[in-house]
Every structure is written in C-alpha cells, then in structure tokens.
Chains A and B, each alone.
Chain A
Amino acid sequence: MERKENNILLHKTFHIEGGDFINAGSISDHVKKILSEAGFPNKIIRRISIAAFEAEMNVICYATRGDLSLFITPNFLKVVVEDEGKGIPDVNLAMSEGYSTADEKIRELGFGAGMGLPNIRKNADEMILTSKFRQGTHLEFIIYLDRQETQLPFE
C-alpha cells in the first residue's frame, strides 16, 4: 500500500472559499476536466466528479475555507478535502440520509437535502470522514481503477 501511495502521477490542490456560492461547482469542473484529459473511463469520472461536487458544496455551505486535493495514482484516484470551520458534532448522524443542518439560503440554492455525504459514500469505494467540532472536517475518498467493472455504485 505504501508503495502505491508514493507512486503519485498527479497531485493538484484547489482552494475553496466558504460561502462562495457563485463559483460553486467550478472546482469539481476542474477535477472532471483533468480526469477527462487524462483519459479515464466516463463512469469513473462521473462518480468522482459527483462526489467532488458534493464535497465542494459542503465546504462552501458549512466551512470558512478549505482545500480539495486530487491524487492520481496507477491504482486509484483519491480526493482529500480539508476544511476549517464549525466541523460536524456527530459524524454518524451527518452520514444518515436526510439529516441536514442547512439554512434557508443553502436550500434556496438547491442543496442541503441531507444527501451529500451519503452520496459521496455511494460513489466512492472507500470514504473516511473525521471532524473536530468548531475546528474543521477531514474527508477523503478513493475510487479504485482496477475494480471498475465490478462496481455498481448505485445498487
């Protein structure tokens, strides 16, 4: 596993500003572009882009600022999102479908249905979420490149 971790073909980090609803989606769009240009299969690109969009929205909606990093290795794609902000007091509760602390503004923008984190989990092969209340949240998810044929993310 360590050998694979060191074998990073690409590492790119994007800054996300909390509350920047106007540009929301632009970072996931970059991620998609990078993966499309690298020639990954459409299904993989769709899964990682959707998960990245949800993660990007979470930083914009709930954090002060954050960084989203994309790692490409020969065996897997990994996205790490590190943010500073209010954090999540109960991670298990946040992972349950329909649970949301979104305010009116977030809902007006079509988000905050409590589907984001469960949707990231559905699209990823592995997901780790940790949070320190009133400090920030660390999220990472991986999609394996050699498992694509057997993976049915929505079933």
Chain B
Amino acid sequence: MTLKEVKETLNADVISGDHDLGKEITCAFAAELLSDVLALAQEGALLITGFTHSQVVYAADLANLCAVVFIRGKRPSEETKRLADQKKIPLLTTSFMMFEACGLLFEYGLKTCAIKTENGKKGK
C-alpha cells in the first residue's frame, strides 16, 4: 500500500512530507520503545508509535525506516518536524489508538516488519 492509503485508512493528518505520499509501504512496526525499534524493526518499515521526541526521527533515519505515524492524535515538536523534513521522513498523526491503528492497517493487508522473537512466529 502507499503512504496515501495509510493516511486514508487511518484518517491521518500529514505533519510533514506531503510530497512523499506516493511512497510504497510494504510492512510496519509498532513500538513505544526506541530500543525495540532499533533492535527489531526491519529496513523500509512504517513505524507506528506514540513517541514524539526528535530521537524517533534519528532512530527512523538510522534504521532506514520509511515513515512515522503518531497515534492518539499526538503531534511532535517543531524541532522534531524540522529534523524529519531534513531527513525526508514523512510524519503523520492519527487519532486512533495504537491497537486500532495497527488493526486497521493489518486488515488492509499491511504485514509486520519485525524480526521474530522467541515466542512469535516468523515476522514475514
């Protein structure tokens, strides 16, 4: 699915990266812990998180993630937004809760991008 479809599915606002809505999203990862993002998210993932500090943009950039969706209507600071513009990482915000946002995207057909953990089945 494209980032535009993510935006429509989640009824999300685009905070930055409006011109990047054509980006193809193949998988997603949801976390509130950046350590989990750095350890488990695979390249190219869409990140769904409630975490809005600028470190989320650094983490997304360093791990080569494609975009970030903030949940529960959260909005990042101007500084986070500036950094995201600079790093060309689109930021979106949706009023859905984490569980709902993930569920809607999963239902749409988006798959997980996480490395499997000991109790889970294979991510992809």
Q: Which A residues form the contact surface with B (CB < 8 A)?
A: 21-22, 24-26, 28-29, 32, 42, 46, 49-50, 53-54, 109-116, 118-119, 122, 154
**Residue of A whose beta carbon sits closest to that of B86:** A29
Across the interface, do A46 and B35 meet the contact criterion of CB distance under 8 Å?
Answer: no
21 pairs from A and B in contact (CB 8 Å cutoff) = A24-B55, A29-B61, A32-B61, A42-B64, A46-B43, A46-B62, A46-B63, A49-B62, A49-B63, A50-B63, A53-B38, A53-B58, A109-B34, A110-B35, A110-B53, A111-B34, A111-B35, A113-B36, A115-B35, A115-B36, A118-B39
Query: Using Cβ atoms and an 8 Å threshold, which residues of chain A touch B36?
Result: 113, 115
**Residue of A whose beta carbon sits closest to that of B62:** A49
Q: From known contacts A50-B63, A110-B53, infer whether A119 and B39 are also in contact, taking CB-CB under 8 Å.
A: yes
Q: From known contacts A25-B59, A110-B53, infer whether A116 and B43 are also in contact, taking CB-CB under 8 Å.
A: no
Across the interface, do B35 and A25 meet the contact criterion of CB distance under 8 Å?
Answer: no
Q: Which B residues form the contact surface with A (CB < 8 A)?
A: 32-36, 38-39, 43, 51, 53-59, 61-64, 115
How many angstroms from the CA of A42 to the CA of B53 in the assembled complex? 25
Across the interface, do B58 and A46 meet the contact criterion of CB distance under 8 Å?
Answer: no
Query: Using Cβ atoms and an 8 Å threshold, which residues of chain B touch A112?
Result: 35
B117–chain A nearest beta-carbon distance, Å: 10
A91–chain B nearest beta-carbon distance, Å: 19
A23–chain B nearest beta-carbon distance, Å: 9
**Residue of B whose beta carbon sits closest to that of A60:** B55
